[in-house]
Structures are given as structure tokens and as C-alpha cells.
Amino acid sequence: MDNLIPGAYRGVAVAWVDGPFTADALVAHLTGREAYRRTRWIVARSRRDGATALVAVHRPASEALFSPIVSVEVLAGPDETCFLERHELDTAVPAQLARATEDPAAAGARCVVVHGRYGHVSFVLDPRPVRIRVREVLPPAPAKLLDQAQRVLDVAEDLPPILLEAEEFSLADHVPAAGPVLLPCRGADIDLPGRDTWFLDERPPHHDWTLLGCARSREIHQWFYGEPPAGSVDLCPRELGPRVLAPGGGAGPLLTKCCLLEDKVEMTPGLAVVPWGSTLGQIGDALAALAREVEPLWAPA
């Protein structure tokens, strides 16, 4: 099973080992020792060189506070395990553990053990984080949707390990070479020095301008002036770049937004579109739906 993460880090114990640090030696060292009733995994560490291994331990079914370990399974040996000190990461949150797997020190490791915030220790075994692209238009910077999605993941304990990949388009790259420009609003602190710039939300006098906006902006222009703009550049994030990707055949699932949506999340295979003014709850629903397409059976162990 990829992306094995404990459901609670209280099930993870840390044990220092003085002697040999082979799989057979670890099994012999731990078998018969008492373990706390919540302990399911032990992060074993060598006092000789700091090497790390991960084992699963099994005890008789018992409500006793401690009981002897009857069997030990080495899940990842010292040549497969990386131990990281990352005190800024909350090891209870899968997405934060996923960020640790991207550390260059963890390259190639089957198991990444993290000593994180609050002094807690947890791990990812066979990491393969779900990668979700987040498409947005700049400004504002940082991209709002990317920032919101990361904030959701930073506290989501029930989602699989997810890494976000920014897919950003700059408004400045789409400004026509000459002529007046009409932008939807001033809200994003857009500045086009030296250009004759107007803002649709201020309902300025009509000009033969180019509207940089989307379908809703064109609708508003039609309402205000009784005609479409002289020119327009569509900057709806869902219309920039490929919209739908076949499972396994593209760059991965995509999260973006559209102002034509007002109160719901729109889902199609590989694509989640949230409203322009989406809530964190809507973004969380979208991320969960995209993750289920990739990891339909994932759950904390």
C-alpha cells in the first residue's frame, strides 16, 4: 500500500538500539519486550550511527496497559529509511508529511520518518503523494486559490498526502500591445504603467478598448453599454490550457475557478472548478473529490 501514514502518531514509538542493526537483529531485539497498548509501529534508531528503520509490532489482544510483543515485521530497513528533523511540520497532517518526502535528503527513500512540530514523530511508507495542479491568474500574488488550497491541506487530517503544483498565468502576458485596456476591477491591485487603463466595476464612459476578463465580464459589459467590447481576451482560468485530462494520460488532476459558478463546485473527471469567491469548505470538497479519483481507497492506517 502506497502512502501508508499512521492515523494517530501516538501509535508510533521510538526505540534506540545499541547492538547490531540488521533486520534479524531488530526482530530478535524487540520480540518479547513489552509495548504500550497503543503502539503499532516502532521507529528504531541505532545509537552507533543514527540509522533508522521502521517495524510493525504485534501483541496479543488485550486491554492491559502493556503486553509483550509476539511478532515483529520490518517494514523498511536502514538502507530504505530517511529520518528528518522538520520542526515546522505537523506530523499529524498527511499533506505536511508529503512536503517532507520532497526533501532532497529523502530522495529514493521508501520510508520517510519526520521528527516534527511538538516533538511528535510519524512517517510515510512508500510515499507517492497525490499531485494536484492549481491553475490561477496573477495578480494577486501569491495566487489566492493556491494559497487557500494550501491552507486547507495544512489542517486536513483525513485527506491523503497531497502536493500542490502551481499553474499560473500572468495577466501582463496577455495585455495587447497597443490601445486602451478594460480590466474587471481594481481589487487585485493591477497596475499597467503607461497604458490607458479602465476598470469595469467603476462603469467608466465607453471606449473602444480591449477587455481582459471572462464570460461574466463580457456579460456585464453588454449590460452596461448595450454591446460587446471592441476586443476581448479571455482570462478565465478554466479556459487557459487543457481543461480535462484523461486519467494517467496528462499532467494530473486540476483545481481551478470560474466566476460563472456562484454557489457550487463543478466536478468532471480530472477537473474541479470552484466559484470565484469560494469558501475554504468548497475548496476542501474539491480537493477531496480529486484525491478520491487518484486514491479511492486511501485512509490513515
Q: Which three cell numbers stand for residue 21?
A: 542493526
**pLDDT at residue 244 in the model:** 46
**pLDDT at residue 245 in the model:** 46
User: Is pLDDT above 70 for 188?
Assistant: no
Cα dihedral 24/29/31/36 (nearest 10): -130
- Top mean pLDDT of 8-12, 103-107, 174-178, 191-195 is at 103-107
Confidence of residue 246 (pLDDT cuts 50, 70, 90): very low
User: Is pLDDT above 70 for 247?
Assistant: no
**DSSP states of 143-157 as a string?**
-HHHHHHHHHHTT-S
Q: Do 190 and 171 form a contact (C-beta atoms < 8 A)?
A: yes
Please name the helix (run of DSSP H) or strand (run of DSSP E) that holds residue 122, with its range, or none: strand 121-125
- Sequence-distant (≥ 6) Cβ neighbours of residue 68 within 8 angstroms: 32, 33, 34, 35, 59, 60
Calculate mean pLDDT across residues 108-134: 97
Which strands sit side by side in the sheet containing 12-17, from one edge to the other?
12-17, 41-46, 52-58, 71-76
Question: Per residue in 269-291, pLDDT tens?
Answer: 999 999 988 999 999 999 999 99
Cα–Cα distance measured from residue 131 to residue 38, given in angstroms and rounded to the nearest whole number: 32
Q: Which three cell numbers stand for residue 11?
A: 501509535
Cα–Cα distance measured from residue 45 to residue 77, given in angstroms and rounded to the nearest whole number: 11
Domain ranges of the chain: 9-125, 129-301
Which one, of 214, 211, 217, 187, lies nearest residue 197 by Cα? Answer: 211
Cα–Cα distance measured from residue 287 to residue 281, given in angstroms and rounded to the nearest whole number: 10
Q: Do 200 and 213 form a contact (C-beta atoms < 8 A)?
A: yes
Calculate mean pLDDT across residues 217-245: 87
Buried b (16+ CB within 10 A) or exposed e, 75-107: bbbbebbbbbebeebbbbbbbbbbbbbeeeebe
pTM, 2 dp: 0.89
Q: What is the distance, to the nearest Å, from the Cα of residue 244 to the centroid of all Cα atoms in its chain?
A: 19
User: Is pLDDT above 70 for 248?
Assistant: no
